[in-house]
Chains A and B, each alone.
Chain A
Amino acid sequence: DAKTTQPTSMDCAEGRAANLPCNHSTISGNEYVYWYRQIHSQGPQYIIHGLKNNETNEMASLIITEDRKSSTLILPHATLRDTAVYYCIVRPVSGGSYIPTFGRGTSLIVHP
């Protein structure tokens, strides 16, 4: 599975957009990019995923570069409740025996 690299920490002002980058330069053509977040003391929660095209849901937007070597998770109007650790992972399109593997992620702090 491809490895991902994320900044250790970021901060953002409440109401502004939070842009969280992820590098996955060794991603293969049959791997999705997934994003999860973990709010303090809770289990990780799925946010969004994508393969090639940009994706948007009620929680966030995912922008994937054309070469697929990096992506950005965008929280368009960050709130204090978005303070969490954000994990970017890759997974094969065909599940098989895939095991979700999480690194240290990016700790996002949203301040007033």
Chain B
Amino acid sequence: NAGVTQTPKFQVLKTGQSMTLQCAQDMNHNSMYWYRQDPGMGLRLIYYSASEGTTDKGEVPNGYNVSRLNKREFSLRLESAAPSQTSVYFCASSEPGRTEAFFGQGTRLTVV
């Protein structure tokens, strides 16, 4: 049982380049989330999707877009990467009303 899978695990971008971070979960969860984590900081919510077909902004949405492609997949896109977006990105999923959130292993993104 894979849980939450993120790709890629590592990425280096040049300023201005675009890329999409992929996330897929196999637990049939309705809710999915994208967080970023900077050194010494907690996780900050970028965007979330409460259910298939819906997305909402979190605490730090600027510079990002998301797509809830289907119930399994929730992607995060950087249209024009900036050095300030250098971070570790985590995807998570959960089932409303149920227990815990499950996290992927993270994508380490460096923008130079």
Q: Complex formed: what's the CA distance from A43 to B97 in Å?
A: 22
Q: Complex formed: what's the CA distance from A45 to B3 in Å?
A: 12
**Known pairs A46-B100, A99-B33; A41 contacts B50 (CB<8 A):** no
Residue of A nearest to B104 (CB): A43
Inter-subunit contact A44/B97 (CB<8 Å): no
Q: Is the interface of B mostly helix, strand, loop or mixed?
A: loop
**Known pairs A46-B100, A49-B100, A87-B42; A100 contacts B94 (CB<8 A):** yes
Interface size class of A (residues with CB under 8 A): 20 to 34
- Report B-chain residues with C-beta under 8 Å of the C-beta of A100: 33, 92, 94, 101
Q: Which of B68-96 contact A (CB under 8 A)?
A: 88, 90, 92, 94-96
Inter-subunit contact A98/B103 (CB<8 Å): no
Q: Which of A23-63 contact B (CB under 8 A)?
A: 34, 36, 41-46, 49
Q: Complex formed: what's the CA distance from A75 to B16 in Å?
A: 46
Q: Complex formed: what's the CA distance from A69 to B71 in Å?
A: 37
Q: Is A15 an interface residue (CB 8 A)?
A: no
Q: Which of B3-44 contact A (CB under 8 A)?
A: 4, 33, 35, 40-43
Interface size of B in residues (CB-CB distance below 8 Å): 27
Q: Is B1 an interface residue (CB 8 A)?
A: no
What would be 16 A-B contacts, judged by CB atoms less than 8 Å apart? A36-B100, A43-B4, A43-B92, A43-B104, A43-B106, A46-B99, A46-B101, A95-B98, A96-B97, A97-B50, A97-B96, A100-B101, A101-B45, A102-B35, A102-B43, A104-B41
Interface residues of A (CB under 8 A from B): 34, 36, 41-46, 49, 87, 94-105
Residue of A nearest to B48 (CB): A99
**Closest beta carbon of chain A to B1's beta carbon, Å:** 15
Inter-subunit contact A34/B106 (CB<8 Å): no
Inter-subunit contact B99/A43 (CB<8 Å): no
Residue of B nearest to A105 (CB): B42
